[in-house]
Amino acid sequence: MKRWLCLVVVVCSAAAIGLRAGKPARPVPAIERVLIISIDGLRPDRLLLADTPVLHGLIRQGAYTMWAQTTVVAITLPSHVSMLTGVNPLKHGIMWNTNLSVQPMVYPNHPTLFESAKQAGYATALISGKVKFRFLAKPGTLDSVFLPKDVDYESDEPVADEAVRTIGQLKPEVLFVHLPANDKVGHKYGWGSPEQLATIGRADACVGRILAALDAAGLRRSTLVIVTSDHGGAGLTHGPEDARSRNIPWIAAGPGIKAGFDLTQQGGLTVRTEDTCATACWVLGLPVPDYFDGKPVLPAFVNPPKS
């Protein structure tokens, strides 16, 4: 039963969020918020072969590539920190992949998307199925944090439950949701195994529930949705310099996004995991610093400015 225990921290009310003003000007005014969903260990070819009607629907509605790349290390925590800071692991300094016991607590060397957004007046939330994501939960940068208390979740459903609740009650303008089960099953049964394909199908259903929560809250039309992953895998593991580990999907859908647009049509473009943070910062009118290794994925947008 311990695996179902969780830690929920909410440090401001929805009413307080509604009082915030003075947010930055946004390049796509219709996009008022960003939802990033990471399906841990999702290899692109498995996404395409599994029963994933929701993800296939996002592909039809948005811009996508099945040839995006994660960090060279291709492991969960460093790669997710790169996804949410816009810089590679050598810069952000989170090189480990376990729930280290450190005192004092250590956070990335560069601000996360949550920190930049919070400073600009946006409401922020992080929901993850793995305890080690606490290294992203720097105090003062998140309005809501949901993490397992001591044991990682084996399924995605409790994470999706919390995402639905958070969208309905808090309506965060920056929401990151991490679904853990696919990685767990990959390590146990193998990448590409029947068990993993079934797990990807269940993750797809969880994504559908999260999107339905946006619809119910009247937020879908103002939300940029990015679905991606931290790494792929082969056999029972994943790691450096293996194309099966480094290739990840990247799907963006929402207002101002090209519909059904394969980003590989841009011959010189390789989407990288650091680009997720840069794209989120750009659409929210936040700074995209020169030190970023990521860049906004402008070809995904209708009539984007020239980079």
In the predicted structure, residue 7 carries a pLDDT above the cut 50: no
Cα separation, 222 vs 214, in Å, equals: 9
12 within domain boundaries? no
Angle at 176 between CA 302 and CA 61, to 5 degrees: 30
**Residue 224 sits in a domain of what CATH number?**
3.40.720.10
pLDDT in tens, 80-117: 999 999 999 999 999 999 998 888 999 999 999 999 99
| Predicted confidence band of residue 301 (pLDDT cuts 50, 70, 90) | very high
| Predicted confidence band of residue 18 (pLDDT cuts 50, 70, 90) | very low
Q: What's the pLDDT at 214? A: 98
DSSP 192: T
Rounded to an integer, the average pLDDT of 150-179 is 98
8 within domain boundaries? no
pLDDT in tens, 208-253: 999 999 999 999 999 999 999 999 999 999 999 899 999 999 999 9
Q: What's the pLDDT at 11? A: 40
The structure tokens listed for 83 are: 């996804």
Q: How many domains does the chain have?
A: 1
pTM: 0.93
Interacting residues of 45 by C-beta distance below 8 A, sequence separation 6+: 66, 192
11 within domain boundaries? no
| Predicted confidence band of residue 307 (pLDDT cuts 50, 70, 90) | low
Q: What's the pLDDT at 306? A: 74
55 within domain boundaries? yes
Contact yes or no for 220/211 (Cβ under 8 A):
yes
39 within domain boundaries? yes
126 within domain boundaries? yes
191 within domain boundaries? yes
Q: What's the pLDDT at 21? A: 52
10 within domain boundaries? no
Determine the structural domain holding residue 215 and report its residue range. 32-300
CB count within 10 Å of CB 259 equals 11
Put the strands of the sheet holding 6-10 in their side by side order. Answer: 6-10, 144-148, 124-128, 174-179, 33-39, 223-228, 247-253, 63-69, 261-262
Interacting residues of 168 by C-beta distance below 8 A, sequence separation 6+: 213, 216, 217
